[in-house]
Amino acid sequence: MYRIKKTVKLFQNKNKIKFIFMNIHQEITIKCNEVCRFILSLLAIGIVKSSLFHQVKKKYPKVSEQDINSFLKFLITNQIIEEFKESKYENSIVSRQVNFYSTIVPNSESMQDELSNKCVLILGLGGVGSCISYFLAQAGISHFIFVDSDKVENTNLGRQALYFKDDIGKYKVDVISNKLRKLNPNLIIEKHKFTVQSKEDFMKIKHIPDIVVNCLDEPNSYFTGTWVTNYYLGLDIPMINGIGYRGRAISLGLTTIPGKTICWNCANASYKNAIKGYVPILNHNPQAGVTSPLANFIGSIHAQEVINILCKELTPILTNRIGVIDFLTLDIKWYKLTINSTNCCPICRRRNNI
């Protein structure tokens, strides 16, 4: 059975039809006669090929099979229609996501199969980490490792996802795990309630994840990013380091793909000449101000980046650059980062033979 893809919208202007692809910002306009419009009306609800030919020939006997075939070929080649088969994700929580990617990747169902089986390690379940865990569970990720030693406090409730009044005093890893299981009862979750104070602490996590998302801001992101990089880069695990909000400025990235992109250590050496060679001496102040939309905005971008990294059909967007957004103006300044012999850390030097 053929039908018009769910991500394609049709608009008509006299004898013209415009196909708008909702998810890739593209459109195609063609001249369209009455027969083509009739074919499109059949394809809108879905129809098997033989039945389509039968109905068109019955209504327009002069139209040749060759003409119908060439119009169908045009629609298939341009990804306007698809051969419809019942999807195993049809009524699942990820059905819209599978639809979204259907015109972006060759097989969005197999991409979802791949994504669902990945294991994500989230370090820190505060404003950014709690949001990322929620979005990734919604995206169908089935295996999580959570690390956080904190218990839920009243001041967390104003920005951190999934925490409510009756959670106060409970461990965040327990609360998040219970909430996410209400979304997907089959989740596999490993919980760790220790405070990360060095890279050696990661040895307590026995399972090797497919990706690490560092949302630890204590003592500060500079140090936690370095610990995560030094431990997991050596294990060939991709990672996102970027906690990032400081007042009205929020930072996006950095994504590290081992052996392919600049890492957190190398980036810190080249990021902003003004701070080159300096390391922070004040630890993160947990009472630093932030709004809920601000924290969750970073969380949502980084959750999408996790999907981009885990699906080989997609492309990570936060490699070799850090974006700093002024939240009051939405201006983004991108710091492009390149690896070279002067900023290269020992791990990348070994890997890249620099």
User: Which residues of the shown chain bind Zn ion in the complex (CB under 5 A)?
Assistant: 263, 265-266, 345, 348
| Residues 75/43, Cβ–Cβ less than 8 Å | yes
Residue nearest to Zn ion (CB): 348
CA distance 273 to 85: 55
What are residue 212's DSSP bridge partners? 121, 239
For 258, the token pair is 């081992």
Least distance between Zn ion and beta carbon 324 (Å): 21
Least distance between Zn ion and beta carbon 263 (Å): 3
Which is nearer to Zn ion, 176 or 337 (by Cβ)?
337
Least distance between Zn ion and beta carbon 256 (Å): 8
What are residue 122's DSSP bridge partners? 146, 213
Least distance between Zn ion and beta carbon 262 (Å): 7
| Residues 146/125, Cβ–Cβ less than 8 Å | yes
| Residues 177/129, Cβ–Cβ less than 8 Å | no
Which is nearer to Zn ion, 125 or 240 (by Cβ)?
240
Which is nearer to Zn ion, 119 or 269 (by Cβ)?
269
> In 3D, which of 19, 9, 1, 26 has the Cα closest to residue 75?
19
Least distance between Zn ion and beta carbon 13 (Å): 54
Which is nearer to Zn ion, 83 or 236 (by Cβ)?
236
Least distance between Zn ion and beta carbon 242 (Å): 16
Which is nearer to Zn ion, 51 or 352 (by Cβ)?
352
| Residues 105/111, Cβ–Cβ less than 8 Å | yes
Distance of CA 176 to CAs 34, 72, 199, Å? Answer: 56, 49, 24
Which is nearer to Zn ion, 168 or 354 (by Cβ)?
354
